[in-house]
Amino acid sequence: METEMDTQDLRRMANKIRQRDLRAVFEAGAGHIGGEMSVIDILTALYFHILRVDPANPLDPQRDRFVLSKGHTACALYVTLAEKGFIPKEEIETFLQPHSRLNGHPNRTKVPGVETNTGPLGHGLPVAVGMALSARLDGASWHSYVVTGDGEMQEGSNWEAIASAAHYKLDNLTLIIDHNRLQQGARLAETNNLAPLAPKLEAFGWAVQEIDGHDMDEIVAALSPEKIVAGKPRCIVAHTNKGHGISFMSDNVAWHHKVPSAEQYKQAMAELQEAAQ
C-alpha cells in the first residue's frame, strides 16, 4: 500500500480533486457540486492517509470499509478513487454519460472501491453498522467508516443505527457527519434542525468530537486510531461549507444541484487554481 501523505500534500490533493470535480460536473451538465466541495477534504484525508485499502486488490478481506452515505456526491468519490488508482483517471470524462459506470450515485457492482450502493438517504450508516458488527463477529481488525450529510441525519433509520452501534459497543466504526448546515432547497435550521448534533450522539453513548472539516490537520488528527475510545463508536462532527473553495458557491443553498455557466466555471476554476499556489 502507498505511503501516507502529510497534511500539506493532502491539501494539494484535495484542491486537485476539487478542480477535477468542478470540470466533470461542468462537462456533464449535472451533479451535486455544493456538497461535493464540502466533503472533498474528508474524502482526501480518508483515502490518502487513513484507509487501509489497496487499489490492486479492492476486495481484500482485510481492507477497511468506507461508505459514502450521501451518495449524491458520487462525483467527488469517483475523482478520489481515480486519484487513488481504483479506476482510470480518464474515465472521469464519462461521468453521467450513456452506458458509463460512473452514475449519479455509486454502484458497488460496477465501480471498484465502492462498498455499497447509496443514494436513498439514511441507508449508509445502517449498512456500515452491519459491516462493523460483522467484523466484530469474525474477530477481524478492519474498521468501518461512513460519511453522512447533516440533512440526512433527519432520517430515523440513522438514529436506530446509532442506538444499535452503541448497544454493540462498536469501537470499530467511525461516523463523519458533513455538517454544512444546508440540504436540498433549504437550511437545516429551516426544516428539522438537529443542531447541535454532538450532544445527541453523546447521549446515545458515542465518543464525539467536533472539528473544522476543512482544516486538514484537524481532520487527520480526529481520524487517528489513537482517538478511538474502547467500547464506543466514534462520531466526528465536521463543520464544513457547502461549495467550499469557490466564493459564489460557499454556504449558498442554490448550489446543492446546480451547474455553473461557462463564466462561473472560469471564475471557479481560477479561484481553485489560485488557492493551489
pLDDT at 164: 98
Give the strand pairing for 182-183 and 186-187. Answer: antiparallel
Residue 172 falls inside a structural domain: yes
In a domain, 34, yes or no: yes
Q: Kindly state the cell numbers that stand for 67.
A: 461508505
What is the pTM for the complete model shown?
0.97
C-alpha to C-alpha distance for 200 and 15, rounded to whole angstroms:
33
Distance CA 110, CA 107 (A): 6
The answer to whether the beta carbons of residues 48 and 13 sit under 8 Å apart is: yes
Judge whether 134 lies within some domain: yes
1: in domain: no
pLDDT at 277: 82
Residue 78 belongs to domain spanning: 7-276
Number of folded domains in the chain? Answer: 1
- The confidence score (pLDDT) of residue 1 equals 44
Give average pLDDT by consecutive 10-residue segment, the chain, 277 residues: 80 98 98 97 98 97 98 98 98 97 96 95 97 98 98 97 98 98 90 95 98 98 97 98 97 93 98 94
**Residue 2 in domain:** no
pLDDT of res. 2 = 53
Report phi then psi at 9, rounded to 5: -65, -35
CATH of the domain at 137: 3.40.50.970
H/E/C letters for each residue in the chain? CCCCCCHHHHHHHHHHHHHHHHHHHHHHCCCCHHHHHHHHHHHHHHHHHHCCCCCCCCCCCCCCEEEECCHHHHHHHHHHHHHHCCCCHHHHHHCCCCCCCCCCCCCCCCCCCCCCCCCCCCCHHHHHHHHHHHHHHHCCCCCEEEEEECHHHHCHHHHHHHHHHHHCCCCCEEEEEEECCEECCEEHHHHCCCCCCHHHHHHCCCEEEEEECCCHHHHHHHHCHHHCCCCCCEEEEEECCCCCCCCCCCCCHHHCCCCCCHHHHHHHHHHHHHHHC
